Structure 1
Amino acid sequence: MKRTQRGMTLLSFVIVLAVVGFFAYVGMKLFPMYSEYYSVKQALKGLQGEMGIANQDPARIKDLFFRRLYISYSDNVKPENVKLQRLQKGSPGWEMTVNYEVRKSLVGNLDVVGKFHASENLTNVGDGG
């Protein structure tokens, strides 16, 4: 009874290792971009819960937003990426929209570009202000 060997050859192992390594490398480039995006989402959610945020002026709201981002080391969101717009007449509050783009070098002249959009209605009137 003849037994045949089964398993991967050295060449197939190296190819699988290269593919896994490439995807791990791409993941290391993408993870900080998405981590920052979730920090932006958390900052917006935190602002929405802030007492009296609907009655604040836009400069104060942006200042509070960027203070929250500073804590999480987010540096790709710039003030020109943040827009505040009053909600419909008769209802207090603001709509805060954050649109920004992150570009990371991947390999040689290839880049990874992430376009991110987040928005939140800031309507908490509360008793602060």
Structure 2
Amino acid sequence: MKRTQGGMTLIGFIIVLAVVGVFIYMGMKLIPMYSEYYAVKRALSEMSTDAAVENADPQKIRDLFFRRLYVSYAENVTKDDFKIARKDAGWEITVDYEVRKPLIGNLDVVGHFVAQQKLNRGAGG
């Protein structure tokens, strides 16, 4: 009785390796974009519980937000992406920005991120 070997050929292995490599490369481009987005969300969330923000004016709130982003190494959010508007008894902050990273050749990965947070004003404001 003749036994045949089963398994992957060298060409099959190279193809699988190439596909896995492309996915790893894409992950290397996407993960920093999403980690920056979560840093923005974390900064907004921390501001909603910060006592220094309760009676602050919009310019002070903007400065506090960008200080928090500076610590997180978030570099794609600009001052134009930050909007603050009066909402009920407080403020509503909207951070709407886009990140574009080159992928392969002339193909780019584009991420559009929007984060919102409501800030309540203190009794003195």
- TM-score, reference length from structure 1: 0.92
CA RMSD of aligned residues (A): 1.5
Match of residue 49 from structure 1: 49
Tell me the amino acid that sits aligned with residue 76 of structure 1. Answer: N
Distance in 1 between residues matched to 2:119 and 2:9, nearest whole Å: 59
Deviation beyond 6 Å, 4+ runs, structure 1: none
Once the two structures are superposed, residues 31-88 of structure 1 have per-residue CA deviations (whole angstroms, 9 ceiling, x without a partner) of 1100100000000001001115232100000000000000011110000000001112
Q: Percent identity?
A: 59
Match of residue 82 from structure 1: 82
Relative contact order, CA 8 A, sep 6+: which one is greater?
A: 1
Paired residues in the alignment total 125
Unpaired stretches in structure 2, ≥5 consecutive residues: none
User: Residue 43 of structure 2 contacts residue 68 of structure 2 at CA under 8 Å; is this kept in 1?
Assistant: yes
- TM-score, reference length from structure 2: 0.95
Match of residue 115 from structure 1: 112
Unpaired stretches in structure 1, ≥5 consecutive residues: none
1:2: Cα distance to partner?
1.4
| Change over 3 Å in CA distance of 1:81–1:4 after alignment to 2 | same
Tell me the amino acid that sits aligned with residue 115 of structure 2. Answer: A
